[in-house]
């Protein structure tokens, strides 16, 4: 007690001294009811930094999405310099996985350096090999340091080449790291964070059946912290590295990193498909924007990037079989994705545990890029491309449908599909299926002639049949493009066409209907595999959506907030199916398995790289926790999701994503200062007031 | 033509390595784009061009010259004549030939403004893309000169912007084809008009991707002056910190839109990021972290950065409401409590949003501290034209439940009625107004106050002198009379109605479920169509051109910081700018094409302005029309 008092007196003395402004902050933090409460340093017996409090306070600390298995976090943290983090042991099944892991570790290390608030934000750009190579070429001498090569245990025979010398180059971003010039006390400088990673399975491309589970243990003895990661696949290990970075924070009190002293977490996702759909046609996104999106998805343990690469407005994908498409269809010669760009993005995603699902829409939403057909003797490839006011047929500009009765359309489609399969190496491909206007077809001469020639009526039944002709042909072309070795499963938007014409075994259905709509339950009952995309809850681009005069019909009247993103729950939306949540019966389990997951949509009418981050994050992080953790409703007023989202948002910003703040800074500094009325009521009812 | 092709071939030969990067697109197709544009009925219409066509009329050339106002934003108010020709020139041949001004100080300002202008033009030239060669200049383009001459009249000695500063200008561009010379002349009464002219000039220049060089409209005449004197943006740096770099970016974008006032809401209950030499405790206790502080040098940098861009900075020190963090130290120093109700629970009883906090106006020491704050602020924000005293959202219940204040009332023989508290508050207001130091250059500083209980129709006369205060009105004009009564009583008014000009709305409540009280997102159309004159006319029967100073868009930053600032302010701030500069009779529809282009321009200059339409609509004008 006397020691405590003395310490307190010392602090007071220090504070009252004239130079007290050198202290970084006059506050200390205490974990109270899962929240970090701010107090004046002079009023508490021992100092505790905000970083330490936030890492360890509450059941999940600052982990997001929260783990689904065991979570044990000690209440203390230890300081270290990120230069002293290294992998000391890697047990992997083959060279390929080893390379991927090395890359993931380098990326993790970079994210740790980014935590320093003085890391210049303009250099937090997507991490590409090119950047490194270019830098090394320019500065061959300056940035050489001692290698920290870890010993590698591979069951295969040693294929490792002997190192020419025991040095390696500093990575390009490293020269900006303020950690390299920080001075630390010997205790911090001595501290090492060593990591051992074990992966059993050689799988190196994420598919729907890939095991993404992992276990991570952190144990500190003396000056050493040992982090052990065990995962069946690279993909689980990568998620473990993500969790690892979330056990670390920057501590303002001494400008070092802090890691939770001891921790043990086992984790696996509740849903297999945790997707992000981005439309790069209505507005173009430079490659770096897509890479940043992929990075941010990885920070949220999302795993499918659905790339809506083309649409009626522009055709930015360069196809080697059909270069005309981009020549006529891209916004400009600079706004094109070349094959090497696409392959680079697909590889970039793979290393972050993400597979890319290309989306080539049809039969609607086609216009830009198809203009060359008639001039080159291929007939009209698209119909309704600008002959009539767009609103006669479709819900928003730009109008245009593929011509289902022109066989050239399918030949070209087949060629494009071939390129798509080559560039993306996908396991699924989205084939569109929304926005089809029968009126467009019915008004066009090509269709009128076709109907007349075949003595068919111009009614909706015939139009459905036309659509079916299109879809069957497209399916055949896709199967041909995939070849005998590979299976590419098409994903299609839900519609009455799907319900009546689409074989449940061949397709996956993306359900866009509002969360309250019974359509999803019907698909599941009928045995379809579904991905939830409820556009009333999980769409990020609808802020105003009046770009052609009035609010788009697809946009909800009220912009969904992060709470909508969090609370929309696929299994809750399927409540009409007995036992769907617990899957207790074999039938309900089988149906539950068909619920693949969910996806957020960003149609880019009013968005490009400038607004992307702000609109998407951290709202999509809330959805990411829904899909990874599928949390049950927490008792009102006691959950930590908002405070974890706040911390996670800061973390994303630190890594270079321009995520929007959800609350004023004071709500992060003092987590007890911004509660809602409901939280206040719940807390005052449950917590005995201390006099 | 043959010559230049030879040059091209030589370069091709010498850059074999780069040539290997050339994509097959170029070997397949001879042009960067299969399209050209022509001006039909003031609209740029996209056409397919023949593959062998040599004369490409690019989109930017069309945009510059098509339509009465080309791509000028905000639209000039008096006269705009734009020829349908452009001439190409090299950036190095754009120069300031002459700057005539009554004083050296003004001359220096003109030189700075010209450098900024030239920098903006340079930003229009894209980085060379290694995949494509840029076309080589024709030899006569190499010779083309652009000379700029600026004349500020003899009376125009002003170097700080005041409410009565003349911002008008006349701009002429004349090209003489025989001697490859383009003469630009700018005439203005003050530096501020002249810099607006340079802004207009920058909008008559575009990069031409087909030619790979800059181009300027060959013949132009513009006569222009703003409709409103006060054209502002509010930046709140207390709810979340905003870096100096982001403030600079905001000022860049404001200058590009001829907005002239940055209202800097620098402190609030949540944080006190302003470093004060005389009171370092304020930011030590009140800032979010040691890195999130505005030092004295930061403030003077911002003020100067703004001044050379024709913008005044109006600092706001919120009082007596919206005060809390930063005042924690006073009790320990024996000065008593200065902020009351801080973190009092439940917050909804003591303030409109957490965290709560108000000044303790019963504590006499509070005035001592406030004097220090005002004096230092007047010093570091000099030269001051206007000062915002806050005065928003005072919660009387907070004072009514604070013992010290209640007993202060009793001592003075006052009861606890609403009127007593309002008396007390107005007494506070007149005290701080009198305390506020006069500016060396500009004399007594005029005050601005938010509308409040003190400014209501029944009370305003009693409490506030219209000669001392301008009132900033923030209510929703859909639900209430916001400025009518004030105008009738002779107050100068700045309109910031929440139903159109609150740019922070639409992102959901940040304390609880559901939407923010200010409702949905305000689209650019709503921002554009909000006319102060119409509001005044609806509420008083007249436009009130004398008293209605202008307007201000407000961006409260509870859900904004560096990451999202640009996308939330822009391009909607540009819609505000045209309303306040041009005050057009028409609604947003005729402005749409120019507006989209202005967004592109802001993006080019490094502002992360949000998109408002698919790029398709920029390339296919008037096809994204209203149903």
Q: Residue A546: its pLDDT value, please? A: 61
Residue A570 has pLDDT above 80, yes or no: yes
Longest Cα–Cα distance of chain A, Å, equals 102
Give the count of alpha carbons within 13 A of B305, CB side only. Answer: 18
Cα distance between residue A30 and residue A27, in whole Å: 10
pLDDT of residue A550: 56
- Record: contact B510-A662, CB cut-off 8 A: yes
Q: Do A605 and B510 touch (CB under 8 A)?
A: no
Q: What is the pTM of this model?
A: 0.90
- How is residue A265 written in tokens? 């977490």
- pLDDT, tens digit (0-9, with 9 covering 90-100), for B177-204: 888 999 999 999 999 999 999 999 999 9
**Whole-number pLDDT of residue B211:** 78
Q: Measured between CB atoms, does B564 come within 8 Å of chain A?
A: yes
Encode pLDDT of A629-678 as tens digits: 999 876 666 678 999 999 999 999 999 999 999 999 999 998 888 877 77
Tokens 């001294």 appear where? A17
Does A683 contact chain B (CB < 8 Å)? no
CB contact under 8 A, B567 and A666: no
| Residue B508 confidence (pLDDT) | 83
Residue B289: closest CA among chain A residues belongs to which residue?
A: A25
**A353: pLDDT strictly greater than 50:** yes
Reference A29, options A249, A264, A188; nearest CA is A249
- The closest of B133, B134, B41, B143 to B92, measured between CA atoms, is B143
Query: In 3D, which of A278, A285, A286, A291 has the Cα closest to residue A128?
Result: A291
pLDDT, one tens digit per residue, over A219-264 is: 999 999 999 999 999 999 999 999 999 999 999 888 999 999 999 9
Cα-based distances in Å from B78 to A37, B36, B169, B294: 60, 32, 10, 41
- Residue that the structure tokens 């890029």 belong to: A369
**Average pLDDT rounded to a whole number, residues A187-208:** 96
CA distance linking residue A220 with residue A224, whole number of Å: 6
Indicate if the pLDDT at residue A196 is higher than 90: yes
Tokens of A596: 């693949």
Q: Which of residues 260-299 of A touch B (CB under 8 A)?
A: 282-284
Higher pLDDT, A125 or B303: B303
Burial B505-538 (b: 16+ CB within 10 A, else e): bbbbbbbeeeebebebbbbbbbbbbbbbbebbee
Cα–Cα distance for residue pair B450/B431, rounded to 1 Å: 17
> Which residue of B612, B616, B619, B625 to mutate against A (max A Cβ within 10 Å)?
B616
What is the spatial distance between Cα B569 and Cα B233, in angstroms, rounded to a whole number? 9
**Mean pLDDT to the nearest integer, A283-302:** 97
Q: Is B305 helix (H, G, I), strand (E, B) or coil?
A: helix
CA pair distance B596, B592, nearest whole angstrom? 6
User: Quick one: what percent of chain B has pLDDT higher than 90?
Assistant: 76
Residue pair A239/A216 in contact by the 8 Å Cβ criterion: no
Q: What DSSP string runs through A265-323?
A: EEE--S-SEEEEEEE-SSS---HHHHHHHHHHHHHTT--EEEEE---SS---B--SS-T
pLDDT band, residue B29 (cuts 50/70/90): low
Inter-chain residue contact A610 with B525, CB threshold 8 Å: no
Mean pLDDT of B354-378: 95
Whole-angstrom Cα distance, residue B55 to residue A629? 60
Best mutation target among A664, A669, A681 (most B Cβ atoms within 10 Å) is: A664
A334 and B559 within 8 Å at the Cβ level: the answer is no
CB B158 within 8 A of CB B192: yes
Looking up tokens 């205060």 gives B469
| B442-468 tens-digit pLDDT | 788 999 999 999 999 999 999 999 999
Residue A437 has pLDDT above 70, yes or no: yes
**Contact criterion met (CB below 8 Å) for B321 and B393:** yes
What does the pLDDT look like over B234-253, one tens digit per residue?
999 999 999 999 999 999 99
3-state secondary structure of A254: coil
Is the model's pLDDT at B110 over the cut of 50?
yes
Structure confidence at residue A554 (pLDDT): 67
Q: Which residue has the tokens 């030589």?
A: B10
A374 in contact with chain B, both atoms CB, cutoff 8 A: no
> What average pLDDT does the segment B95-117 reach?
97
Lowest average pLDDT, out of A145-149, B112-116, B443-447, goes to A145-149
Assess B279–A contact: CB distance below 8 Å, yes or no.
no
Neighbours of A579 (CB within 10 A): 13
Percentage of chain A modeled with pLDDT above 70: 87
List the single residue in A with minimal CA-CA distance to B572: A544
Return the higher-pLDDT residue of A141 and A509: A509
Cα distances (Å, whole numbers) of residue B12 to B16, B22, B444: 6, 11, 68
B137-161: per-residue pLDDT in tens? 445 567 889 999 999 999 999 999 9
What does the mean pLDDT of chain A come to? Answer: 88
B284 touches chain A (CB under 8 A): yes
Q: What is the reported pLDDT for A398?
A: 85
Separation of alpha carbons B36 and A517, rounded Å = 47
Q: Does A15 touch chain B (CB under 8 A)?
A: no
C-alpha distance from A545 to closest chain B C-alpha (Å): 8
Confidence of residue A382 (pLDDT cuts 50, 70, 90): very high
**Least confident among A210-219, A249-258, B295-304, B517-526:** B517-526
Query: Cβ contact (<8 Å) for B613 and A547?
Result: yes
**pLDDT reading at A400 higher than 80:** yes
The count of C-alpha atoms lying within 13 angstroms of the C-alpha of B160, restricted to the half-sphere facing its C-beta, is: 16
**Token pair 């005065």: residue:** B391
> In whole angstroms, how far apart are CA B31 and each of A398, B58, B79, B134, B616?
25, 12, 38, 11, 20
Confidence of residue A46 (pLDDT cuts 50, 70, 90): confident
Return mean pLDDT, chain B.
Answer: 89
Q: What percent of chain A has pLDDT over 90?
A: 73
Q: From the list A314, A549, A662, which residue is nearest B615 (CB)?
A: A314
Structure token pair of residue A412: 């070209």
Q: What is the DSSP string of A94-152?
A: SHHHHHHHHHHHHHHHHHHHHTSTTS-GGG-----HHHHHHHHHH-TTTTEEE--PPEE
The answer on pLDDT for A10 being more than 70 is no
Evaluate if residue A123 carries a pLDDT over 90. Answer: no
Cross-chain residue pair B603–A604, CB shorter than 8 Å: no
pLDDT of A478 over the 60 cut: yes
**Closest-CA residue to A309 (of A357, A364, A370):** A357
B405 pLDDT band, cuts 50/70/90, is very high
Of the pLDDT bands very low, low, confident and very high (cuts 50, 70, 90), residue A6 is very low
Question: In this predicted structure, what is the pLDDT of residue B48?
Answer: 81
């Amino acid at each position: 007690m006397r020691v405590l008092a003395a310490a307190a007196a010392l602090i007071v003395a220090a504070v009252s001294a004239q130079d007290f402004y050198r202290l970084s902050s006059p506050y200390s933090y205490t974990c109270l009811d899962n929240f970090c409460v701010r107090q004046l340093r002079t009023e508490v017996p021992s100092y505790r930094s905000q970083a330490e409090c936030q890492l360890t306070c509450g059941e999940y600390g600052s982990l997001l999405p929260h783990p689904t298995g065991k979570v044990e976090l000690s209440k203390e943290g230890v300081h270290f310099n990120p230069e002293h983090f290294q992998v000391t042991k890697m047990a992997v099944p083959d060279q390929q996985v080893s390379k991927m892991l090395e890359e993931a570790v380098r990326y993790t290390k970079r994210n740790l350096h980014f935590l320093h608030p003085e890391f210049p934000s303009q250099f937090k750009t997507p991490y590409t090999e090119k950047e490194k190579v270019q830098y090394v070429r320019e500065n061959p001498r300056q940035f050489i340091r001692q290698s920290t090569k870890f010993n590698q245990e591979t069951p295969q025979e040693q294929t490792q080449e002997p190192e020419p010398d025991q040095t390696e180059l500093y990575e390009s971003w490293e020269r900006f790291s303020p950690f390299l010039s920080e001075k630390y006390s010997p205790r911090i400088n001595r501290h090492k964070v060593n990591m051992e990673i074990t992966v059993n399975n050689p799988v190196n491309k994420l598919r729907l059946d890939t095991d993404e589970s992992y276990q991570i243990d952190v144990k500190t003895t003396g000056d050493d912290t040992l982090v052990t990661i065990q995962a069946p696949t690279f993909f689980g290990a990568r998620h473990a590295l993500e969790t690892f970075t979330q056990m670390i924070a920057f501590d303002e009190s001494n400008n070092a990193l802090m890691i939770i002293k001891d921790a043990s977490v086992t984790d696996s996702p509740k849903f297999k498909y945790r997707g992000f759909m981005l439309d790069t046609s209505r507005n173009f996104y430079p490659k770096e924007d897509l890479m940043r999106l992929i990075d941010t998805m990885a920070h949220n343990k999302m795993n499918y990037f659905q790339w809506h690469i083309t649409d009626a407005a522009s055709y930015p994908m360069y196809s080697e079989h059909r270069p005309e498409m981009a020549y006529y269809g891209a916004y400009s010669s600079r706004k094109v994705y070349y094959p090497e760009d696409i392959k680079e993005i697909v590889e970039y995603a793979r290393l972050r545990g993400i597979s890319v699902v290309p989306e080539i829409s049809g039969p609607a939403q086609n216009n830009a890029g198809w203009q060359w057909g008639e001039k080159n003797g291929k007939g009209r490839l698209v119909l309704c491309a600008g002959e009539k006011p767009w609103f006669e047929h479709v819900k928003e500009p730009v109008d245009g449908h593929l011509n289902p009765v022109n066989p050239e359309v399918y030949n070209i489609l087949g060629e494009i599909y071939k390129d798509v399969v080559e560039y993306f190496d996908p396991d699924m491909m989205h084939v569109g299926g929304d926005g089809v206007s029968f009126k467009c077809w019915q008004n066009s001469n090509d269709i009128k002639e076709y109907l007349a020639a075949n003595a068919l009526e111009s009614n909706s039944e015939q139009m459905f049949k036309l659509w079916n002709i299109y879809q069957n042909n497209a399916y055949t072309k896709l199967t041909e493009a995939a070849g005998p070795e590979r299976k590419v499963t098409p994903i299609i938007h839900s519609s009455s066409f799907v319900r009546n014409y689409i074989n449940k075994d061949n397709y996956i259905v993306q359900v866009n209907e509002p969360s309250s709509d019974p359509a999803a339950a019907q698909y599941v009952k009928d045995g379809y595999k579904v991905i939830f995309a409820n556009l009333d809850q999980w769409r990020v681009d609808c802020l105003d959506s009046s770009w052609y005069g009035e609010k788009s019909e697809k946009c909800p009247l009220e912009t969904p907030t992060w709470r909508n993103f969090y609370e929309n729950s696929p299994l809750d939306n399927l409540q009409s199916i007995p036992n769907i949540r617990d899957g207790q019966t074999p039938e309900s389990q089988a149906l539950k398995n068909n619920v693949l997951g969910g996806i957020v949509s960003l149609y880019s009418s009013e968005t490009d790289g400038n607004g992307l981050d702000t609109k998407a994050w951290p709202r999509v992080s809330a959805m990411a926790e829904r899909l990874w953790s599928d949390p049950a409703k927490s008792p009102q007023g006691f959950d930590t999701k908002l405070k974890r989202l706040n911390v996670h948002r800061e973390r994303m910003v630190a890594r270079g994503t321009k995520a929007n703040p959800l609350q004023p800074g004071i709500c992060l500094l003092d987590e007890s200062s911004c509660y809602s009325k409901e939280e206040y009521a719940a807390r005052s009812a449950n917590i005995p007031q201390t006099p | 033509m043959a010559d230049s092709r030879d040059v091209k071939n030589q370069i091709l030969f010498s850059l074999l390595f780069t040539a290997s990067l050339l994509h097959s697109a170029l070997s397949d197709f001879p042009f960067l784009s299969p399209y050209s544009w022509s001006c039909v009925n003031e609209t740029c219409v996209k056409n397919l061009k023949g593959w062998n066509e040599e004369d490409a009329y690019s989109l930017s050339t069309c945009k510059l010259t098509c339509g009465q106002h080309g791509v000028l934003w905000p639209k000039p108010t008096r006269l705009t004549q734009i020829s349908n020709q452009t001439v190409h020139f090299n950036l190095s041949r754009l120069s300031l030939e002459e700057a005539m001004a009554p004083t050296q100080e003004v001359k220096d300002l003109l030189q700075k403004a010209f450098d900024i202008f030239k920098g903006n033009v340079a930003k229009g030239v894209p980085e060379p893309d290694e995949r494509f060669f840029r076309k080589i200049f024709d030899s006569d383009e190499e010779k083309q000169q652009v000379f700029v001459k600026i004349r500020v009249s003899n009376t125009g000695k002003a170097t700080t912007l005041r409410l009565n500063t003349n911002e008008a200008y006349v701009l002429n561009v004349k090209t003489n084809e025989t001697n490859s010379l383009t003469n630009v002349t700018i005439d203005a009464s003050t530096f501020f008009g002249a810099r607006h002219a340079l802004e207009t000039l920058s909008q008559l220049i575009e990069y031409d991707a087909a030619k790979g060089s800059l181009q300027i409209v060959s013949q132009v005449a513009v006569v222009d002056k703003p409709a409103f004197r006060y054209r502002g943006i509010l930046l709140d740096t207390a709810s979340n910190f905003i870096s100096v770099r982001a403030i600079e970016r905001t000022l860049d974008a404001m200058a590009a839109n001829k907005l002239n006032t940055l209202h800097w809401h620098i402190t609030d209950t949540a944080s006190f990021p302003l470093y004060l030499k005389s009171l370092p405790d304020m930011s030590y206790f009140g800032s979010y972290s040691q890195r999130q502080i505005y030092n004295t040098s930061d403030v003077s940098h911002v003020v100067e950065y703004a001044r050379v861009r024709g913008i005044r900075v109006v600092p706001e020190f919120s009082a007596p409401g919206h005060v809390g963090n930063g005042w924690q130290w006073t009790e320990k120093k024996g000065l008593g409590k200065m902020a009351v109700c801080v973190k009092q629970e439940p917050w909804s009883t003591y303030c409109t949003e957490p965290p709560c906090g108000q000044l303790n106006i019963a504590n006499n020491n509070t005035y001592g501290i406030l004097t220090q704050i005002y004096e230092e602020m007047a010093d570091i924000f000099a030269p001051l034209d206007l000062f915002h005293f806050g005065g928003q959202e005072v919660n009387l219940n907070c004072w009514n439940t604070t013992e010290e204040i209640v007993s202060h009332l009793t001592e003075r023989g006052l009861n606890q009625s609403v009127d007593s508290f309002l008396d007390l508050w107005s007494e506070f207001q007149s005290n701080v107004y009198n305390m506020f130091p006069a500016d060396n250059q500009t004399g007594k500083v005029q005050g601005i106050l938010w509308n409040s209980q003190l400014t209501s129709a029944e009370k305003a006369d009693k409490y506030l002198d219209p000669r001392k205060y301008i009132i900033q009105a923030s209510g929703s004009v859909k639900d209430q009379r916001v400025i009518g009564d004030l105008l009738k009583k002779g107050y100068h008014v700045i309109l910031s109605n929440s139903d159109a000009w609150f740019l922070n709305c639409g992102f959901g409540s940040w304390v609880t479920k559901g939407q923010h009280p200010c409702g949905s997102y305000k689209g650019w159309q709503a921002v554009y169509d909000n006319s102060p004159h119409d509001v005044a006319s609806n509420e008083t029967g007249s436009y009130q051109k004398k008293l209605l100073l202008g307007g201000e868009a407000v961006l409260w930053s509870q859900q904004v910081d560096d990451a999202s600032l640009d996308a939330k302010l822009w391009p909607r701030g540009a819609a505000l700018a045209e309303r306040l500069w041009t005050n057009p009779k028409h609604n947003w529809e005729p402005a749409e094409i120019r507006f989209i282009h202005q967004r592109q321009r802001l993006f080019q200059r490094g502002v992360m302005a949000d998109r408002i339409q698919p790029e398709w609509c920029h390339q296919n004008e008037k096809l994204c029309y209203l149903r």
